Structure 1
Amino acid sequence: MIEPSKLDDLILNGDDVKNLMVDFRLTINSTKSFDFDNPSSLDDDGYKTITGLNNFHDVLDHLTTMRNSNVRSVRVALAVFLAKMRLGLSNRVLACLFHLKSKRTVSRIFHQVREALMKSFVPLNLGFEHITRDAVLNSHQTVIATELLRNEPDRIVLIADGTYLYCQKSSNNEFQRRTYSNHKHRHLIKPMVITASVTKTKPSKPNPMPKPKTISKSKPMSKPKPKLQNQ
Protein backbone atom coordinates (compact mmCIF):
# COMPACT_ATOMS: atom_id res chain seq x y z
CA MET A 1 0.00 0.00 0.00
CA ILE A 2 1.38 3.39 -1.03
CA GLU A 3 1.34 5.92 1.76
CA PRO A 4 0.56 9.54 0.84
CA SER A 5 3.45 11.94 1.12
CA LYS A 6 3.41 14.31 4.02
CA LEU A 7 3.07 18.02 3.39
CA ASP A 8 5.09 20.43 5.41
CA ASP A 9 3.17 23.11 7.21
CA LEU A 10 3.60 26.53 5.61
CA ILE A 11 3.47 29.49 7.93
CA LEU A 12 3.01 32.91 6.32
CA ASN A 13 3.13 36.24 8.02
CA GLY A 14 1.52 39.45 6.82
CA ASP A 15 4.43 40.47 4.58
CA ASP A 16 4.53 37.04 2.91
CA VAL A 17 0.82 37.19 2.09
CA LYS A 18 1.23 40.71 0.72
CA ASN A 19 4.14 39.69 -1.51
CA LEU A 20 2.20 36.63 -2.71
CA MET A 21 -0.77 38.77 -3.71
CA VAL A 22 1.48 41.27 -5.51
CA ASP A 23 3.14 38.48 -7.50
CA PHE A 24 -0.24 37.02 -8.37
CA ARG A 25 -1.52 40.39 -9.58
CA LEU A 26 1.57 40.94 -11.73
CA THR A 27 1.14 37.50 -13.27
CA ILE A 28 -2.49 38.17 -14.12
CA ASN A 29 -1.72 41.60 -15.59
CA SER A 30 1.10 40.22 -17.73
CA THR A 31 -1.16 37.54 -19.24
CA LYS A 32 -2.60 38.94 -22.47
CA SER A 33 -5.72 37.77 -24.22
CA PHE A 34 -3.89 38.19 -27.55
CA ASP A 35 -0.23 39.07 -27.89
CA PHE A 36 0.74 40.93 -31.05
CA ASP A 37 4.38 40.95 -29.98
CA ASN A 38 4.39 37.22 -30.69
CA PRO A 39 3.83 36.76 -34.46
CA SER A 40 2.66 33.18 -34.00
CA SER A 41 0.11 33.87 -31.27
CA LEU A 42 -2.68 34.46 -33.82
CA ASP A 43 -3.58 32.72 -37.04
CA ASP A 44 -4.71 34.43 -40.23
CA ASP A 45 -8.35 34.42 -39.11
CA GLY A 46 -7.38 36.11 -35.85
CA TYR A 47 -5.49 38.88 -37.64
CA LYS A 48 -8.40 39.34 -40.05
CA THR A 49 -10.95 39.51 -37.23
CA ILE A 50 -9.07 42.12 -35.17
CA THR A 51 -7.30 44.23 -37.79
CA GLY A 52 -9.31 43.53 -40.94
CA LEU A 53 -6.12 42.54 -42.80
CA ASN A 54 -4.62 39.25 -43.89
CA ASN A 55 -1.31 40.92 -44.77
CA PHE A 56 -0.66 42.57 -41.40
CA HIS A 57 3.09 42.03 -41.68
CA ASP A 58 3.23 43.71 -45.09
CA VAL A 59 1.78 46.92 -43.65
CA LEU A 60 4.06 46.61 -40.63
CA ASP A 61 7.14 46.62 -42.87
CA HIS A 62 6.21 50.11 -44.10
CA LEU A 63 6.42 51.65 -40.61
CA THR A 64 10.13 52.35 -40.89
CA THR A 65 9.96 55.68 -39.06
CA MET A 66 8.50 54.23 -35.84
CA ARG A 67 10.52 52.71 -33.00
CA ASN A 68 9.64 50.49 -30.05
CA SER A 69 9.12 52.23 -26.70
CA ASN A 70 8.74 51.13 -23.12
CA VAL A 71 4.96 51.49 -23.47
CA ARG A 72 4.30 49.61 -26.73
CA SER A 73 6.03 47.98 -29.65
CA VAL A 74 5.51 48.97 -33.27
CA ARG A 75 3.46 45.81 -33.81
CA VAL A 76 1.12 46.63 -30.94
CA ALA A 77 0.79 50.25 -32.07
CA LEU A 78 -0.28 49.22 -35.57
CA ALA A 79 -2.65 46.60 -34.16
CA VAL A 80 -4.32 49.18 -31.88
CA PHE A 81 -4.75 51.59 -34.79
CA LEU A 82 -6.21 48.95 -37.12
CA ALA A 83 -8.48 47.55 -34.40
CA LYS A 84 -9.90 51.05 -33.91
CA MET A 85 -10.54 51.38 -37.65
CA ARG A 86 -11.93 47.86 -37.93
CA LEU A 87 -14.09 47.54 -34.81
CA GLY A 88 -14.74 51.14 -33.75
CA LEU A 89 -14.09 50.40 -30.08
CA SER A 90 -13.61 53.16 -27.53
CA ASN A 91 -10.12 54.12 -26.41
CA ARG A 92 -10.86 52.84 -22.93
CA VAL A 93 -11.79 49.39 -24.25
CA LEU A 94 -8.70 49.27 -26.48
CA ALA A 95 -6.49 50.19 -23.53
CA CYS A 96 -7.97 47.28 -21.58
CA LEU A 97 -7.62 44.77 -24.42
CA PHE A 98 -4.03 45.67 -25.28
CA HIS A 99 -2.98 46.21 -21.64
CA LEU A 100 -2.10 49.87 -22.04
CA LYS A 101 -2.03 52.38 -19.22
CA SER A 102 -4.90 54.66 -20.19
CA LYS A 103 -7.00 55.95 -23.05
CA ARG A 104 -4.57 58.87 -23.41
CA THR A 105 -1.88 56.36 -24.30
CA VAL A 106 -4.17 54.98 -27.00
CA SER A 107 -4.71 58.49 -28.39
CA ARG A 108 -0.94 59.07 -28.61
CA ILE A 109 -0.54 55.75 -30.41
CA PHE A 110 -3.17 56.79 -32.97
CA HIS A 111 -1.27 59.99 -33.66
CA GLN A 112 2.09 58.22 -34.01
CA VAL A 113 0.80 55.50 -36.34
CA ARG A 114 -1.12 57.97 -38.50
CA GLU A 115 1.97 60.11 -39.02
CA ALA A 116 4.11 57.05 -39.82
CA LEU A 117 1.58 55.76 -42.36
CA MET A 118 1.31 59.16 -44.02
CA LYS A 119 5.09 59.30 -44.48
CA SER A 120 5.91 55.77 -45.64
CA PHE A 121 2.72 53.92 -46.63
CA VAL A 122 0.27 56.38 -48.18
CA PRO A 123 2.57 57.78 -50.93
CA LEU A 124 3.25 54.26 -52.21
CA ASN A 125 -0.26 52.81 -52.01
CA LEU A 126 -2.86 55.60 -51.92
CA GLY A 127 -3.61 58.78 -53.81
CA PHE A 128 -3.69 59.67 -57.49
CA GLU A 129 0.09 59.98 -57.70
CA HIS A 130 1.06 56.44 -56.67
CA ILE A 131 -0.03 54.81 -59.94
CA THR A 132 -0.15 55.82 -63.58
CA ARG A 133 -3.23 56.00 -65.76
CA ASP A 134 -1.92 53.36 -68.15
CA ALA A 135 -1.28 50.97 -65.27
CA VAL A 136 -4.90 51.29 -64.14
CA LEU A 137 -6.23 50.60 -67.63
CA ASN A 138 -3.93 47.67 -68.30
CA SER A 139 -3.85 45.91 -64.93
CA HIS A 140 -6.45 47.27 -62.52
CA GLN A 141 -9.73 47.48 -64.41
CA THR A 142 -12.05 44.52 -64.59
CA VAL A 143 -13.59 43.23 -67.77
CA ILE A 144 -17.12 43.77 -66.42
CA ALA A 145 -16.47 47.45 -65.70
CA THR A 146 -14.92 47.91 -69.13
CA GLU A 147 -17.77 46.27 -71.03
CA LEU A 148 -20.75 47.59 -69.05
CA LEU A 149 -19.79 51.03 -67.75
CA ARG A 150 -17.41 52.46 -70.33
CA ASN A 151 -18.93 54.27 -73.32
CA GLU A 152 -15.65 55.56 -74.78
CA PRO A 153 -12.25 53.91 -75.24
CA ASP A 154 -9.46 54.59 -72.75
CA ARG A 155 -11.89 55.56 -70.01
CA ILE A 156 -11.22 54.64 -66.39
CA VAL A 157 -14.12 53.42 -64.26
CA LEU A 158 -13.93 54.68 -60.68
CA ILE A 159 -15.90 53.55 -57.63
CA ALA A 160 -16.63 55.99 -54.79
CA ASP A 161 -17.98 54.73 -51.49
CA GLY A 162 -18.29 56.11 -47.98
CA THR A 163 -18.90 54.60 -44.56
CA TYR A 164 -19.42 55.67 -40.96
CA LEU A 165 -16.65 55.59 -38.36
CA TYR A 166 -17.99 56.43 -34.92
CA CYS A 167 -15.75 58.39 -32.56
CA GLN A 168 -15.86 59.63 -29.00
CA LYS A 169 -17.12 63.04 -28.01
CA SER A 170 -14.15 65.35 -28.17
CA SER A 171 -13.28 68.02 -25.63
CA ASN A 172 -12.51 70.36 -28.53
CA ASN A 173 -15.70 72.33 -29.16
CA GLU A 174 -15.00 72.95 -32.85
CA PHE A 175 -14.22 69.29 -33.56
CA GLN A 176 -17.23 68.29 -31.47
CA ARG A 177 -19.57 70.34 -33.65
CA ARG A 178 -18.00 69.15 -36.91
CA THR A 179 -18.26 65.46 -36.02
CA TYR A 180 -21.81 65.42 -34.68
CA SER A 181 -24.34 63.87 -37.08
CA ASN A 182 -27.95 65.01 -36.86
CA HIS A 183 -28.94 61.94 -38.85
CA LYS A 184 -27.24 59.35 -36.61
CA HIS A 185 -27.38 61.44 -33.40
CA ARG A 186 -23.78 60.45 -32.68
CA HIS A 187 -20.28 61.75 -33.25
CA LEU A 188 -18.73 60.18 -36.33
CA ILE A 189 -16.37 60.60 -39.24
CA LYS A 190 -17.42 59.62 -42.74
CA PRO A 191 -14.38 58.70 -44.85
CA MET A 192 -14.77 58.53 -48.62
CA VAL A 193 -12.82 55.97 -50.66
CA ILE A 194 -12.26 56.34 -54.41
CA THR A 195 -10.78 53.33 -56.17
CA ALA A 196 -10.65 51.58 -59.51
CA SER A 197 -12.54 48.38 -60.17
CA VAL A 198 -9.44 46.51 -59.13
CA THR A 199 -9.17 42.79 -58.64
CA LYS A 200 -6.16 40.94 -57.30
CA THR A 201 -6.87 37.72 -59.12
CA LYS A 202 -6.73 37.37 -62.87
CA PRO A 203 -10.07 36.63 -64.50
CA SER A 204 -10.35 32.93 -64.97
CA LYS A 205 -11.25 31.45 -68.31
CA PRO A 206 -14.78 30.10 -68.51
CA ASN A 207 -14.95 26.38 -68.17
CA PRO A 208 -15.87 24.67 -71.43
CA MET A 209 -19.29 23.11 -71.57
CA PRO A 210 -19.09 19.40 -70.98
CA LYS A 211 -19.74 17.33 -74.03
CA PRO A 212 -22.94 15.32 -73.90
CA LYS A 213 -22.30 11.70 -73.33
CA THR A 214 -23.43 9.40 -76.07
CA ILE A 215 -25.27 6.36 -74.91
CA SER A 216 -24.31 3.43 -77.04
CA LYS A 217 -26.97 0.86 -77.70
CA SER A 218 -25.79 -2.40 -76.29
CA LYS A 219 -26.90 -5.70 -77.62
CA PRO A 220 -29.42 -7.48 -75.44
CA MET A 221 -27.90 -10.18 -73.38
CA SER A 222 -28.89 -13.62 -74.44
CA LYS A 223 -30.42 -15.78 -71.80
CA PRO A 224 -28.39 -18.83 -70.88
CA LYS A 225 -29.81 -22.05 -72.26
CA PRO A 226 -30.89 -24.59 -69.67
CA LYS A 227 -28.71 -27.65 -69.41
CA LEU A 228 -30.29 -31.00 -70.21
CA GLN A 229 -29.84 -33.63 -67.63
CA ASN A 230 -29.50 -37.27 -68.71
CA GLN A 231 -32.06 -39.44 -67.08
Structure 2
Amino acid sequence: MRLKILKKHRIFVPASSHFCAQHKDASWNDYQTPMYNYSKDQVEEMVDLLLNDENLPEIRATSDDEMRTCTGLSHAQFDILLSELPTLTATYKSKDIAKVVLMAFLKRMRTGHTYDQIRYSLDLSYKTVKKYINAARASLLSDFVPKHLGFGTFSREFLIANTTEMAKRLYTSQDDTLVTIWDGTYIYCNKSQNHELQRRTYSGQKCRNLVKPMVCVSSNGLYIDIFGPFEATQNDASIMKFVFDKHADPIMNKSKPGDV
Protein backbone atom coordinates (compact mmCIF):
# COMPACT_ATOMS: atom_id res chain seq x y z
CA MET A 1 0.00 0.00 0.00
CA ARG A 2 2.83 2.43 0.86
CA LEU A 3 4.44 1.67 -2.49
CA LYS A 4 1.19 2.25 -4.38
CA ILE A 5 0.66 5.57 -2.61
CA LEU A 6 4.19 6.65 -3.43
CA LYS A 7 3.88 5.72 -7.12
CA LYS A 8 0.34 6.92 -7.75
CA HIS A 9 0.11 10.02 -5.56
CA ARG A 10 3.81 10.91 -5.14
CA ILE A 11 3.34 10.84 -1.36
CA PHE A 12 5.76 9.05 0.93
CA VAL A 13 4.26 7.27 3.94
CA PRO A 14 6.92 6.27 6.54
CA ALA A 15 6.73 2.75 7.94
CA SER A 16 5.97 4.19 11.39
CA SER A 17 2.75 5.85 10.16
CA HIS A 18 -0.69 4.65 11.19
CA PHE A 19 -4.22 5.23 9.94
CA CYS A 20 -6.87 6.76 12.19
CA ALA A 21 -10.57 7.26 11.60
CA GLN A 22 -10.38 10.96 12.51
CA HIS A 23 -8.47 11.86 9.34
CA LYS A 24 -9.83 9.27 6.92
CA ASP A 25 -11.70 11.88 4.84
CA ALA A 26 -8.77 14.26 4.48
CA SER A 27 -7.35 14.84 1.00
CA TRP A 28 -3.95 13.62 -0.08
CA ASN A 29 -2.72 17.21 -0.26
CA ASP A 30 -3.14 17.53 3.51
CA TYR A 31 -0.36 15.01 4.02
CA GLN A 32 2.19 16.15 1.46
CA THR A 33 5.56 17.10 2.87
CA PRO A 34 8.21 19.02 0.88
CA MET A 35 11.25 16.91 0.06
CA TYR A 36 13.59 19.19 2.02
CA ASN A 37 11.65 18.40 5.22
CA TYR A 38 12.38 14.67 5.00
CA SER A 39 15.07 13.33 7.29
CA LYS A 40 18.02 11.29 5.99
CA ASP A 41 16.47 8.09 7.35
CA GLN A 42 13.17 8.81 5.61
CA VAL A 43 14.89 9.41 2.27
CA GLU A 44 16.79 6.12 2.64
CA GLU A 45 13.54 4.36 3.52
CA MET A 46 11.91 5.84 0.41
CA VAL A 47 14.78 4.66 -1.80
CA ASP A 48 14.59 1.13 -0.32
CA LEU A 49 10.86 1.09 -0.97
CA LEU A 50 11.37 2.02 -4.63
CA LEU A 51 14.24 -0.42 -5.09
CA ASN A 52 11.92 -3.20 -3.95
CA ASP A 53 9.25 -2.04 -6.37
CA GLU A 54 7.91 -5.26 -7.84
CA ASN A 55 4.19 -4.46 -7.76
CA LEU A 56 3.88 -7.36 -5.37
CA PRO A 57 0.50 -8.79 -4.48
CA GLU A 58 -0.12 -10.03 -1.00
CA ILE A 59 -0.43 -13.78 -0.61
CA ARG A 60 -4.16 -14.17 -0.26
CA ALA A 61 -5.58 -16.14 2.62
CA THR A 62 -5.86 -19.77 1.57
CA SER A 63 -6.71 -23.00 3.31
CA ASP A 64 -3.99 -25.49 4.15
CA ASP A 65 -5.30 -27.74 1.35
CA GLU A 66 -4.89 -24.99 -1.22
CA MET A 67 -1.46 -24.13 0.14
CA ARG A 68 -0.37 -27.77 -0.04
CA THR A 69 -1.63 -28.02 -3.62
CA CYS A 70 0.45 -25.00 -4.68
CA THR A 71 3.60 -25.48 -2.59
CA GLY A 72 3.45 -28.90 -0.92
CA LEU A 73 3.53 -27.18 2.49
CA SER A 74 0.95 -26.02 5.00
CA HIS A 75 0.92 -22.39 6.17
CA ALA A 76 2.79 -23.32 9.35
CA GLN A 77 5.44 -25.29 7.40
CA PHE A 78 5.80 -22.44 4.92
CA ASP A 79 6.48 -19.97 7.77
CA ILE A 80 9.02 -22.35 9.33
CA LEU A 81 10.85 -22.71 6.02
CA LEU A 82 10.88 -18.94 5.55
CA SER A 83 12.37 -18.48 9.02
CA GLU A 84 15.22 -20.78 7.94
CA LEU A 85 16.15 -18.38 5.11
CA PRO A 86 17.58 -15.22 6.72
CA THR A 87 19.54 -14.42 3.55
CA LEU A 88 16.30 -14.11 1.59
CA THR A 89 14.68 -11.75 4.10
CA ALA A 90 17.87 -9.69 4.38
CA THR A 91 18.17 -9.38 0.60
CA TYR A 92 14.69 -7.95 0.12
CA LYS A 93 14.46 -6.22 3.53
CA SER A 94 10.83 -7.27 3.78
CA LYS A 95 9.23 -10.45 5.02
CA ASP A 96 6.24 -9.89 2.73
CA ILE A 97 8.43 -9.78 -0.36
CA ALA A 98 10.42 -12.81 0.86
CA LYS A 99 7.12 -14.73 1.15
CA VAL A 100 6.27 -14.06 -2.49
CA VAL A 101 9.82 -15.00 -3.56
CA LEU A 102 9.59 -18.34 -1.75
CA MET A 103 6.04 -18.88 -3.00
CA ALA A 104 7.17 -18.47 -6.62
CA PHE A 105 9.97 -21.00 -6.16
CA LEU A 106 7.81 -23.59 -4.39
CA LYS A 107 5.08 -23.26 -7.02
CA ARG A 108 7.65 -23.88 -9.71
CA MET A 109 9.00 -26.95 -7.92
CA ARG A 110 5.62 -28.35 -6.90
CA THR A 111 3.58 -27.82 -10.07
CA GLY A 112 6.21 -27.52 -12.80
CA HIS A 113 4.36 -24.48 -14.13
CA THR A 114 6.14 -22.23 -16.61
CA TYR A 115 7.36 -18.77 -15.61
CA ASP A 116 4.43 -17.28 -17.52
CA GLN A 117 1.89 -19.36 -15.58
CA ILE A 118 3.50 -18.39 -12.28
CA ARG A 119 3.70 -14.70 -13.14
CA TYR A 120 0.01 -14.61 -14.02
CA SER A 121 -0.96 -16.34 -10.77
CA LEU A 122 1.18 -13.95 -8.68
CA ASP A 123 0.67 -10.85 -10.86
CA LEU A 124 4.39 -10.39 -11.54
CA SER A 125 6.51 -9.78 -14.59
CA TYR A 126 8.39 -12.60 -16.31
CA LYS A 127 11.74 -11.03 -15.40
CA THR A 128 10.72 -10.72 -11.76
CA VAL A 129 9.58 -14.35 -11.51
CA LYS A 130 12.88 -15.53 -12.97
CA LYS A 131 14.85 -13.34 -10.55
CA TYR A 132 12.78 -14.52 -7.57
CA ILE A 133 13.19 -18.21 -8.35
CA ASN A 134 16.95 -17.82 -8.70
CA ALA A 135 17.11 -15.84 -5.43
CA ALA A 136 15.09 -18.46 -3.53
CA ARG A 137 17.27 -21.28 -4.90
CA ALA A 138 20.46 -19.46 -3.88
CA SER A 139 19.10 -18.77 -0.40
CA LEU A 140 18.07 -22.41 0.10
CA LEU A 141 21.51 -23.60 -0.98
CA SER A 142 23.32 -21.21 1.37
CA ASP A 143 21.00 -21.31 4.41
CA PHE A 144 18.85 -24.43 4.40
CA VAL A 145 20.74 -27.24 2.65
CA PRO A 146 23.94 -27.20 4.78
CA LYS A 147 21.84 -27.44 7.96
CA HIS A 148 19.49 -30.22 6.87
CA LEU A 149 21.12 -32.28 4.12
CA GLY A 150 24.38 -34.17 3.71
CA PHE A 151 26.31 -36.83 5.60
CA GLY A 152 28.23 -34.12 7.42
CA THR A 153 24.96 -32.81 8.87
CA PHE A 154 24.00 -35.95 10.80
CA SER A 155 25.92 -38.03 13.29
CA ARG A 156 26.13 -41.78 12.78
CA GLU A 157 24.26 -42.34 16.05
CA PHE A 158 21.40 -40.11 14.86
CA LEU A 159 21.07 -42.03 11.59
CA ILE A 160 21.14 -45.39 13.39
CA ALA A 161 18.32 -44.11 15.62
CA ASN A 162 16.32 -43.46 12.42
CA THR A 163 16.72 -47.08 11.28
CA THR A 164 13.48 -49.03 11.56
CA GLU A 165 13.19 -52.37 13.35
CA MET A 166 12.11 -54.02 10.09
CA ALA A 167 15.34 -52.92 8.37
CA LYS A 168 17.43 -54.15 11.29
CA ARG A 169 15.79 -57.57 11.25
CA LEU A 170 16.14 -57.92 7.48
CA TYR A 171 19.67 -56.67 6.96
CA THR A 172 21.66 -56.79 10.18
CA SER A 173 21.85 -58.52 13.53
CA GLN A 174 23.82 -55.73 15.20
CA ASP A 175 22.34 -52.62 16.76
CA ASP A 176 25.28 -50.41 15.69
CA THR A 177 24.95 -51.13 11.97
CA LEU A 178 23.56 -48.34 9.80
CA VAL A 179 21.08 -49.26 7.06
CA THR A 180 20.46 -46.74 4.26
CA ILE A 181 18.37 -46.90 1.10
CA TRP A 182 19.73 -45.60 -2.22
CA ASP A 183 17.60 -45.01 -5.29
CA GLY A 184 17.99 -42.99 -8.46
CA THR A 185 15.03 -40.84 -9.42
CA TYR A 186 14.15 -38.78 -12.47
CA ILE A 187 13.80 -35.08 -13.23
CA TYR A 188 12.30 -34.73 -16.69
CA CYS A 189 13.55 -31.94 -18.95
CA ASN A 190 12.95 -30.64 -22.45
CA LYS A 191 14.78 -31.92 -25.49
CA SER A 192 17.90 -29.83 -26.04
CA GLN A 193 18.94 -28.40 -29.41
CA ASN A 194 22.51 -29.21 -28.40
CA HIS A 195 23.09 -32.66 -29.90
CA GLU A 196 25.60 -33.82 -27.26
CA LEU A 197 23.39 -32.69 -24.37
CA GLN A 198 20.38 -34.29 -26.05
CA ARG A 199 22.16 -37.66 -26.16
CA ARG A 200 23.36 -37.41 -22.55
CA THR A 201 19.89 -36.59 -21.22
CA TYR A 202 17.90 -39.10 -23.30
CA SER A 203 16.75 -42.21 -21.47
CA GLY A 204 16.10 -45.23 -23.63
CA GLN A 205 14.16 -46.83 -20.77
CA LYS A 206 11.74 -43.90 -20.33
CA CYS A 207 11.97 -42.65 -23.94
CA ARG A 208 12.22 -39.12 -22.59
CA ASN A 209 14.87 -36.56 -21.74
CA LEU A 210 15.78 -36.47 -18.07
CA VAL A 211 18.55 -36.21 -15.50
CA LYS A 212 19.00 -38.60 -12.58
CA PRO A 213 19.66 -37.52 -8.99
CA MET A 214 20.76 -40.27 -6.60
CA VAL A 215 18.83 -40.04 -3.32
CA CYS A 216 20.02 -41.57 -0.06
CA VAL A 217 17.47 -41.93 2.75
CA SER A 218 17.24 -43.76 6.04
CA SER A 219 14.85 -46.68 6.32
CA ASN A 220 12.21 -44.48 7.96
CA GLY A 221 12.29 -41.97 5.08
CA LEU A 222 14.68 -39.31 6.42
CA TYR A 223 16.54 -37.62 3.55
CA ILE A 224 20.27 -37.99 4.20
CA ASP A 225 21.89 -36.74 1.00
CA ILE A 226 21.22 -36.20 -2.70
CA PHE A 227 23.96 -36.60 -5.31
CA GLY A 228 23.99 -35.45 -8.90
CA PRO A 229 22.21 -34.87 -11.15
CA PHE A 230 23.73 -37.52 -13.40
CA GLU A 231 23.31 -38.31 -17.08
CA ALA A 232 20.22 -40.26 -18.12
CA THR A 233 22.46 -42.94 -19.67
CA GLN A 234 23.89 -43.96 -16.27
CA ASN A 235 22.21 -46.65 -14.19
CA ASP A 236 22.00 -46.80 -10.40
CA ALA A 237 24.98 -49.16 -10.12
CA SER A 238 27.37 -46.89 -12.04
CA ILE A 239 26.15 -43.83 -10.14
CA MET A 240 26.72 -45.52 -6.77
CA LYS A 241 30.18 -46.63 -7.87
CA PHE A 242 31.00 -43.02 -8.76
CA VAL A 243 29.68 -41.76 -5.40
CA PHE A 244 31.66 -44.29 -3.38
CA ASP A 245 34.79 -43.73 -5.46
CA LYS A 246 34.55 -40.01 -4.82
CA HIS A 247 33.72 -40.37 -1.12
CA ALA A 248 35.77 -43.15 0.45
CA ASP A 249 33.40 -43.42 3.41
CA PRO A 250 30.44 -41.01 3.15
CA ILE A 251 28.79 -42.41 6.27
CA MET A 252 31.80 -41.31 8.34
CA ASN A 253 32.14 -38.15 6.23
CA LYS A 254 35.68 -39.03 5.11
CA SER A 255 36.52 -37.83 1.63
CA LYS A 256 39.52 -38.60 -0.49
CA PRO A 257 42.34 -36.01 -0.50
CA GLY A 258 41.60 -33.25 -2.93
CA ASP A 259 37.81 -33.69 -2.90
CA VAL A 260 35.71 -30.56 -2.55
TM range (shorter): 0.5 to 0.7
RMSD: 3.2
Alignment correspondent of 2:244? none
**Alignment pair present for 1:52 and 2:72:** yes
User: 1:191–1:86: structure 2 CA closer, same or farther, 3 Å change rule?
Assistant: farther
* Shift of residue 156, structure 1, vs aligned partner: 1.2
Relative contact order, higher structure (CA 8 A, sep 6+) = 1
Alignment correspondent of 2:188? 166
Out of 97, 101, 106, the residue aligned to residue 125 of structure 2 is 101
Q: Between the two proteins, what is the percent identity of the paired residues?
A: 36
More helix by share: 2
Greater radius of gyration (CA):
1
**Alignment pair present for 1:43 and 2:60:** no
Pairing of 1:1-231 with structure 2 (within 5 A): 35-36=58-59, 38=60, 41-54=61-74, 55-66=77-88, 67-68=91-92, 73-102=97-126, 104-138=127-161, 140-168=162-190, 178-198=200-220
* Shift of residue 192, structure 1, vs aligned partner: 2.6
Unaligned runs of 5+ in 1: 1-29, 201-231
Alignment correspondent of 2:8? none
Q: TM-score, normalised by structure 2?
A: 0.53
CA contact (8 A) 2:56 2:124 kept: no
User: 1:180–1:96: structure 2 CA closer, same or farther, 3 Å change rule?
Assistant: farther
| Alpha-carbon distance in 2 for matches of 1:57, 1:166 | 29
Moved over 6 A (4+): 170-174
User: 1:173–1:98: structure 2 CA closer, same or farther, 3 Å change rule?
Assistant: farther
| Alpha-carbon distance in 2 for matches of 1:122, 1:169 | 29
Matched letter for residue 122 of structure 1: V
Paired residue total: 163
User: 1:149–1:134: structure 2 CA closer, same or farther, 3 Å change rule?
Assistant: same
Q: TM-score, normalised by structure 1?
A: 0.58
* Shift of residue 128, structure 1, vs aligned partner: 0.5
* Shift of residue 75, structure 1, vs aligned partner: 1.0
